[in-house]
Structures are given as structure tokens and as C-alpha cells.
Structure 1
Amino acid sequence: MSGVELKNVVKTFGDIEVIHGVDLTVEDGEFCVFVGPSGCGKSTLMRLVAGLESITDGTIRIGERDVTKLDPALRGVAMVFQTYALYPHMTVEENMSFGLRMNGVPKDEIRRKVSEASRILKLDDYLKRKPKALSGGQRQRVAIGRTIVRGPEVFLFDEPLSNLDAELRVEMRVEIARLHKELGATMIYVTHDQVEAMTLADKIVVLRDGRIEQIGKPLDLYNDPDNRFVAGFIGSPSMNFLAADVRTGAIQSPALDQRLDLPSGKPADGTRLEVGIRPEHLSIDADGSYFRIDLIERLGGVSYVYLTGQQGERVIVEEGGSSRLQEHDHVGLAFNAADLRFFDADSGSRIR
């Protein structure tokens, strides 16, 4: 297996630059997830690695090789798409072995590779079936098996679970995580679903508008975001943000009903801030009255309480599943100041 290195990678379509000088290293054997909203450039970046799009500037290396101008077939990568792209008239076994047969691989080697991929993906009972006789999750496993038999240096996954229902998505997340541990392969995975990113990744690359916003381990991004965008994108439900400003050497926010000490960055008086805090770090203060409870989602083990403040602030609070709160009650918020994160209201940058 091999790692992947991108240096100052730029991609333009006509006069429009969609990837802006990306630098990234994916270590050998690492599971790296590209995540971000629609249109952020994550699939384009993966297609550049695969060679399905030509780069405008920069270099791409896979292992020790410069593959910037290499044909996709020579890069040592295999790609799994969100559509399964299986041949409907072929059996599972025939679909998985098709590429090897076209390349003239000996029959014994084909049989061995298909058997090994089938074992890893638990497809032994389905080898003689055709795709129409399989569930969506099984079809996606066949598509993954087709890449395994090729023995690529790097696996590329382009939103492979987006066509599955919620239950199958969870099942396939577990399958892909298990596959990575068994193969020890370098994998790059594209998704807009930050839950997939958090549960699968060794390293997450958060993208916005063709630029990298932050790179890090899942919990590092969750606990220590560099800016408001990352703080709001990573986490479900997302982080709450409340308007505040700096006055007389302290941070004040009407929604939080107390003066807060300045972070070490010491923003000046008059600076407009946003105070971020995650739903699980908030609790309801029954003696307060600033917020009205609009909705309570009672999910069994946990409840999510949706609040609206007197100035229109929207806040979500995570409570225990046995919460006795009622809709339309008026309440306040309780929190630990150590759980607050501060962001410049204009630039969105973190104030530490």
C-alpha cells in the first residue's frame, strides 16, 4: 500500500477556479475522509487523485511515484462510486472477476482473489446470484469486492452509501470500517455526512469552496475547531451559536445571562463575537425565563429540547430521556464556561 500527497493542487474549469492550491498528505494505511457541503470540491479533489480529471497546476504523488499526468489505469487506485455500476446480466462472481478476466489474469489467481474478497465481505452465499436478487447493501459490497480483487495501492470511495436507507447506511459503515482494519489499506472517502466522517476516519479533511478549512482527527475537530464553519459542520446536532460582544473587559451575551472572562486572545472592547457551545454541554435552568421551549424530541435514551430566545436565538439542549420539561415553558441555560468556544462574528475565526 502507499500514501497520497497533494502539493499546491489547483483545478479550473474555464475561468472558474474550483480547487485552490490544496496541500494534503494521506499517510500509508490511513483512512482519510473528505467532508463538506455540496459544491465544496470534495468529489472533484478525489477525481483528481483518481485521474478522472486533469489538474491545472500542482503535483499528485502516490507512494514514491509522481502520478500527476498518469493514466487512471496506471495509478494503482480503485474507486467505488455511489452507484453500484454492476453488470445486471452477470453473477456476483462474474462481476467481481470481470476486470481480472479482461486483463488476462490466470483463472486460478482469479478464483483465489474472488474467494478472498468474498470471504472478507461475507458474499460467499451470493456468488451465483445476479444483482437484481441482492439488497442495496449487498450490491455495494459487490462493488467494493470488485475493487479488492484488483489489489490497488489506494481505495477511493465517492459517497458510496448515499443511495442506501438509514439502516443499511449504519450497517455498511461498520462493514467499511472492518474492511479497513482487515486490509490495512490507504483509503480516501468522500461524504457530505459528518456522522460518517466522525465514525470512519483516522483523519478528516473539512472542505469549503475548494479550500481546506481544517485537517485533524475526528475528536480534535469536534473539540477544538479552528473556525465557526468547522464548529458548526462537525457534530450532530450542530454547535449552538449565540451573539455576544466585549464590554468593559468581559464578554456579555443576553442569552447567557452572565459576564464571561475573556479568552487569552483578549479581544478589544466593542468586538462582536459568537459564543459556541454544543447541545450536550448545556442544561436547562428551570429558574430562568429568557428562552421558550418550542419542541421536545423524546428519543428514549436522550431528548433534544429546542429553544427560542427573546431576541430570536435558536438553541438545542441535550437532556436525559426522562426529561419532565414541557413545551411552551420558559427557562434559562446552565453551562460550564470551559465548554464555550469563541469566534469573531465577522471573520468566523476562532478566538482562543
Structure 2
Amino acid sequence: MSGVTLNKVIKKYGETQVIHGVDLQIEDGEFCVFVGPSGCGKSTLLRMIAGLEETTGGQIAIGTRDVTRMDPAERGVAMVFQTYALYPHMTVEENMGFGLRMNGHPKAEIKAKVAEASRVLKLDEYLKRKPKALSGGQRQRVAIGRAIVRGPEVFLFDEPLSNLDAELRVEMRVEIARLHNEIGATMIYVTHDQVEAMTLADKIVVLRGGVIEQAGKPLDLYNDPDNQFVAGFIGSPAMNFFPGRVVGGKVRVPGLGVMELDAPGSASDGPITVGVRPQMLRLAEGDTHSVDLSEQLGGVAYHYLVAGDGTRITVEAHDQSAPKPGSKVGLSVADGAALFFDPDNGARLR
């Protein structure tokens, strides 16, 4: 297996540049997830690694090989798409071994590799079935199995779970995590779902506008984001943001309706943006906020509030009591829970 190195990678379509000098090191055996909003460049970057998109500038290396100008078949990668792309007239076994048969591999070798992939993906009882007799999750496992039998250096996943229902998405997420633990291959996975990113990744790469906003371990991005965009994108429900003002080393936050917060050392007097995750807020006695709606999910509840200045706030609670819509409540903030950002450029203030 091999790592992947991107060195000042650029992609242009005519005069339009969509990837802006990306530098990234993905270690051998690492599970790296590209995440970001639609149009951020994550799928384009994945397709450039696969060789399905030409690289305008910079270098892409897999292991010690410069693959920037290599054909896809020479790169040692296997790609799994959101569509299964299975041959309907072939059985599961035939679909999984098709690529090896086309390349003239011996029948015994194909059979052995298909059997091993089938064992890993728990597909043994489905080998003689055709795709129409499989569920969506089973078909996606077959598509992954087809990639496994090729023995690639790097696995590439382009939103493989996006067309599955909620239950199957959870099931397949677990399957993919287990697969990575078992075979230890380098995997690069594209998704717009930050829950998938948090649960699967060794490393998350957050993209926006063809630029890496931050890359690191999931909890590092969650607990210590570099900017407001990353803070708001990573975490579910999303972080709450409040306009505030620094005065004499203290931050006043009208939308929180709480005591003043200590200002970060890099902040000067003037406007500031304050971020607090829903998990770090608690309902309290008071009348500073109006309850708009409460969602009870059993083990967790989400309360949606409106502050006096119109700021909308999400509070996560772990009890089964719910205030009535239109009622008034107060808020408390866990010690040290607030993060601070420059209101002009979104940079983190520490």
C-alpha cells in the first residue's frame, strides 16, 4: 500500500480555476475524508488523483511514483462511485472478478481473490445471485468487492452512500470502517456528510472554493477549528454564532443573555463573533429567550430558541422535558465553551 502526496495541485477549466494550489500528505494506510459544501472541489480533487481529470498544474504522487500524467489504469487505484455500475446479467461472483478476467488473470487466481473479498464483505451467500436480487447495501458491497479484488494501492470512494436510505447508510458506514481496519489500505473518501467524515476518518480535509481550510484528526477539527467556516461545518447540530463586542478585555454577547465572557488575548476592543456548540448550552431560569420549537428524539432533544436581538439558537439537551413553544427561558454556557472569531475574515482568535 502507498500514501498519496499532492504538491501545489491546480485544476482549471479554461479560464476558470477550481482547485487552487492544494498541498496535502495522506499517509500510507490512512483513511482520509474530503468534506465540504457542494462545489468546493472535493470530487474534482478525487478524480484528479484517479486520473479521470487532467491536472493543470502541480504534482500527484502515489508512494514514490509521480502519477500526474499517468493513465488511470497505471496508477494502482480503484474507485467506488455512488452508482453501483454492476452488470445486471452477471452474478455477484462474475461482477467482482470481471476486471481480472479482462486483464487475463488465471481462473484460479480470480477465484481465490473473489473468495477473499467475499469473506471480508460477508457476501458468500450471495455469490450466485444477480444484482436485481440484492438490496442497495448489498450491491454497494459488491461494488467495493470489485475494487478489492484488483488489489489497488489506494481506494477512492466518491460519495458511495449518498443514494442509500438512512438505515443502510449507517450499516454501510460500519462496513467501510470495518473493511479499512481489516485490510489496512490507504483510502480517500469524498462526502458532503460531516457525520460520515467524523465517524470514518483518520484525517479530515475540509475544502471550500478549491482551497483546504483545515486538515487534521476529526476531534482536532471539532475542538480546535482554525476558522469560523470549519467550526460551523464540523459538528451536528451546527455551532451557534453570536455577534458580540469586546470592551476592556470582556466580551458582551446580547444573543446569549449571560454574564460577560473573558476575551481572547488576540482580540482588541470592537466587534467579535462568538461560537458555542449546542451541546455546551443549557436551558435555565429566565426570560431572555423565546422557545420557537422543540424536537424530542428520545435520548436527545433539540430546542430552537430566538434571542431578544433576533439571533436563532440551537440547544441540545439529554432529558425528556420540553418547554412549550412561545414560552420564555434563560441560557447558561459551559465554562470555556465559547470560541471567538474575527467577524471580518472568520479567522480564529485565541
Q: How does 1:8-47 map to 2 (within 5 A)?
A: 8-47=8-47
CA deviation map 1:211-235 (0-9, x unaligned)? 0000010011001100000000001
Amino acid aligned to 1:289: D
CA contact (8 A) 2:22 2:212 kept: yes
**SS of structure 1 residue aligned to 2:287:** coil
CA shift, 1:255, in A, is: 2.0
CA contact (8 A) 1:32 1:203 kept: yes
**Cα distance in structure 2, aligned partners of 1:219 and 1:323:** 30
CA contact (8 A) 1:9 1:22 kept: yes
CA shift, 1:107, in A, is: 0.4
CA shift, 1:112, in A, is: 0.1
TM-score (norm. length: structure 1): 0.98
CA shift, 1:328, in A, is: 1.5
CA shift, 1:24, in A, is: 0.2
**Cα distance in structure 1, aligned partners of 2:333 and 2:120:** 47
Partner of 1:285: 284
Aligned length: 349
Higher alpha-carbon deviation: 145-154 or 317-326? 317-326
Query: Which runs of 5 or more structure 1 residues have no equivalent in the other structure?
Result: none
CA deviation map 1:40-86 (0-9, x unaligned)? 00000000000001101000000010001001000000000000000
CA shift, 1:190, in A, is: 0.1
Partner of 1:148: 148
Partner of 2:272: 273
**Cα distance in structure 2, aligned partners of 1:228 and 1:350:** 7
Q: How does 1:313-332 map to 2 (within 5 A)?
A: 313-332=311-330
Task: Give the % identical residues.
Answer: 69
Amino acid aligned to 2:343: A
CA deviation map 1:129-181 (0-9, x unaligned)? 11111000000000000000000000000000000000000000000000000
CA shift, 1:329, in A, is: 1.3
CA contact (8 A) 1:246 1:252 kept: yes
CA deviation map 1:79-100 (0-9, x unaligned)? 0000000001111011001110
Distance of aligned partners of 1:16 and 1:328 in 2 relative to their CA distance in 1, 3 Å threshold: same
**Cα distance in structure 1, aligned partners of 2:249 and 2:235:** 31
Amino acid aligned to 1:100: L
TM-score (norm. length: structure 2): 0.98
CA contact (8 A) 1:260 1:337 kept: no
CA deviation map 1:303-339 (0-9, x unaligned)? 1110011111011111123224222111111012401
CA deviation map 1:111-141 (0-9, x unaligned)? 0000000000011111111111100000000
CA contact (8 A) 1:76 1:154 kept: yes
Query: Which runs of 5 or more structure 2 residues have no equivalent in the other structure?
Result: none
CA shift, 1:254, in A, is: 1.1
Are 1:258 and 2:256 counterparts? no
**Cα distance in structure 1, aligned partners of 2:269 and 2:249:** 6
CA shift, 1:249, in A, is: 3.0
Are 1:99 and 2:99 counterparts? yes
Amino acid aligned to 1:31: F
CA contact (8 A) 2:294 2:322 kept: no
**Cα distance in structure 2, aligned partners of 1:324 and 1:348:** 34
Partner of 2:308: 310
CA deviation map 1:274-322 (0-9, x unaligned)? 1101111110112x21110111111101111100111110111111232
Higher alpha-carbon deviation: 318-327 or 241-250? 318-327
**Cα distance in structure 2, aligned partners of 1:84 and 1:336:** 46
CA contact (8 A) 2:2 2:63 kept: yes
**Cα distance in structure 1, aligned partners of 2:162 and 2:250:** 46
**SS of structure 2 residue aligned to 1:264:** coil
Q: How does 1:109-188 map to 2 (within 5 A)?
A: 109-188=109-188
**Cα distance in structure 1, aligned partners of 2:127 and 2:324:** 54
Q: How does 1:70-81 map to 2 (within 5 A)?
A: 70-81=70-81
**Cα distance in structure 1, aligned partners of 2:3 and 2:11:** 21
**Cα distance in structure 1, aligned partners of 2:151 and 2:239:** 41
**Cα distance in structure 1, aligned partners of 2:145 and 2:155:** 11
